[in-house]
Structure 1
Amino acid sequence: MRVAAIADIHGNIDALEAVLADIAGEKPDLIVNLGDCLSGPLAARATADRLMALDLPTVRGNHDRALIDRPAEKMGSWERPAFAEISEPHLDWIRSLPMTLVLEGEIYMCHATPENDNVMWMEELLDTGRFSLRSRARMEAIATGIDQSLILCGHSHVARSVMLTDGRLIVNPGSVGCPAFLDDEPFDHRLETGAPFASYALIEKTEAGWQPTFRQLRYDPRRMAALATERGYDDWARAVSTGWV
């Protein structure tokens, strides 16, 4: 079995199309989407239309939830431009997304962690405003009760795999459309991948176990950067253009 995992598209339709074209050439058995599909100042409507037509197994991310669990006037800066673009059918699609999914009896999917869609599974935020690899003991505690051999999550935008002591593998495919970001909660911090690539992962079940391959694709980000700049999101323009903020 070969699984293509995508995550954290954040309305970047051009990055998504690049990833989907590459996946088509790889011919996996399954494509899954780990959430945070639309939020940001890019192309939420076009991204929603594309994803709804694909009908992939998809879990809801924290930024997906933020489009449906509060009134528009209380939405954050990532949600406001996306919410202005999308329609009620798009919101109904988001409402239909589960927080977790189990596929084929051996693949577990969530956006961030099973219990909290806003906590990174494999990274922790330091008081320096940067991120570090979380301890394996803490990662294993989060995985308590999950029997599946492959655990897929997103949220951090960092492509990474960690093998737990019992052989279960956690894979984050990285972000399709947002390779860097700034945030001010719980305090000012940033995450930067350092390259403007559209990322996803192919994970193959072999005789030895699950084997991930991380794909980082060049695409032309200029249209998305121009949209971000036009809407007053210079940090997003820098992020999609460079992988830095």
Structure 2
Amino acid sequence: MKIAVISDIHGNVLALEAVLADLRMEAPDIVVNLGDCVSGPLWPEETAAILRETAWPTVRGNHDRFLIEDPVEKLGQTDAFAIERLTAESLEWLTSTQPVIRLTEEIFLCHGTPDDDDRYLTEKVEGPKGHLPDEDNLLEDLKGETSPIVCCGHTHIPRLIRLRETGQILLNPGSVGLPSYEDDHPHRHKMESGSPHARYALMTSNGGAWNFQDKALSYDWDAASREAEKNGRPDWSRSLARGFYGPLS
């Protein structure tokens, strides 16, 4: 069994197309999507149109939830750009996504933590950036979820963590479409992967044991950067071109 795990596309259809090309070569048995699919100053509808056709099991990310639940006038700049461009079909598809998915008896999928799509699991924010939490924090944030493998996104930072106490594996594949960003929850901080590559992960079962592979793919990130700049987001432009957050110098 080979499972591809993707997350946090954020409307970057060019990065998604690179992942799709790689998936055709890898030929996984199933692809799962951990959410935050279309929000961003790029190509929200083009991205949604592809995802509607894939029929991948898809978790609802926090930005997906904002788009289908929050009044338009209360949306932030990133989500407002997307909602103005999404068709009724794409919004209906977003509504069909699920808060969490129990894929098998072994594998649990969520966007943030098992009970909160807007809380980091595999990063802890202290100071201006995130870092690896300790095991006690991780066990607490699992909220009693006992699946042997928990796949999550939201942080945009790839992680593979094994908890010694429970033997559980926590997998974060990183972000397909946005390698860094700034947020003010729980306080202002940056998340930076440090490279502009499109990222996803593979899980392969081998005689009952699971092996994991990080994938980092080249694509035309300069074109994505230019699109963000054209749409009034120099912060996204630098992130997409370099993997670090902030306006282009």
TM-score by length of 2: 0.94
Aligned position for 1:140: 139
- Retained in 2: the 8 A contact 1:10–1:37? yes
Counterpart residue number, 2:2:
2
SS at match of 1:228: helix
What is the one-letter code of the residue matched to 1:118? D
Alignment partner, residue 156 of structure 2: 157
Identity %: 40
Matches for 1:96-111 after TM superposition, within 5 Å: 96-111=96-111
Supply the distance in 2 between the matched residues of 1:206 and 1:108 (Cα, whole angstroms): 19
Moved more, 145-154 or 6-15: 145-154
Structure 2 match to 1:215? 215
Q: C-alpha separation between the residues in 2 aligned to 1:231 and 1:55?
A: 29
Listed as ranges, the matches of 1:122-133 within 5 Å are 122-126=122-126, 128-133=127-132
Deviation at 1:191, TM superposition (A): 1.1
1:208 positional shift: 6.2
Does structure 2 conserve the Cα–Cα contact (< 8 Å) formed by 1:6 and 1:32? Answer: yes
Report how far residue 78 of structure 1 moved: 1.4
Please state whether the residue corresponding to 1:66 is helix, strand or coil: helix
Across the aligned residues of Structure 1 and Structure 2, the Cα RMSD in angstroms comes to 1.2
8 Å contact from structure 1 (residues 3, 203) kept in 2: yes
Any conservation in 2 of the 1:200–1:216 contact (CA below 8 Å)? yes
* Higher mean displacement: 80-89 or 42-51: 80-89
Provide Cα deviations, 1:11-56, integer angstroms capped at 9, x if missing partner: 0000001011111101111100000000010000000000000010
Deviation at 1:136, TM superposition (A): 0.7
Letter in 2 for 1:2: K
Paired residue for 1:38?
A: 38
Aligned length: 244
CA distance in 2, matches of 1:198, 1:35: 15
> Could you give the per-residue CA deviations for residues 83-141 of structure 1, whole angstroms, max 9, x where no partner exists?
11102221111111111101132210000111110111011111x21111111112112
For residues 230 and 220 of structure 2, what CA distance do their matches in structure 1 show?
Answer: 17
Structure 2 stretches lacking a partner, 5+ long: none
Task: Say whether residues 1:196 and 2:196 are aligned partners.
Answer: yes
Check conservation: 2:108, 2:151, Cα contact below 8 A.
yes
Give the deviation of 1:79 after TM superposition. 0.1
Structure 1 equivalent of residue 69 of structure 2: 69
CA distance in 2, matches of 1:107, 1:134: 21
How many Å separate the matches in 2 of 1:235 and 1:145? 38
1:239 aligned partner: 239
Judge conservation of contact 1:150–1:210 (CA < 8 Å) in 2: no
Q: Quick one: distance in 2 between partners of 1:187 and 1:101?
A: 29
SS at structure 1 position matched to 2:211: strand
Q: In 1, distance between residues paired with 2:52 and 2:174?
A: 21
Provide the C-alpha distance between the structure 2 equivalents of 1:185 and 1:202, rounded to a whole number of angstroms: 30
**3-state SS of 1:151 partner:** strand
Q: Is the 8 A contact 2:112 2:153 kept in 1?
A: yes
Contact 1:33 1:56 (8 Å CA) reproduced: yes
Shift of 1:142: 2.5
1:62-96 CA-partner distances (Å, limit 9, x unpaired): 01111011111110121011111102221111111
* Counterpart residue identity of residue 210, structure 1: W
Larger deviation, residues 107-116 vs 222-231: 222-231
| Distance (Å, rounded) in 2 between the aligned partners of 1:158 and 1:18 | 19
Shift of 1:188: 2.3
Tell me if the contact between 1:158 and 1:174 (Cα under 8 Å) persists in the aligned partners: yes
Task: Determine the C-alpha separation between the residues in 2 that align with 1:185 and 1:114.
Answer: 18
| Cα offset, 1:144, TM superposition | 4.2
Distance 2:143 2:229 in 1: 43
**Partner SS, residue 78 of structure 1:** helix
The normalised TM-score by structure 1 is 0.96
Read off the aligned partner of 2:134 and give its amino acid letter. S
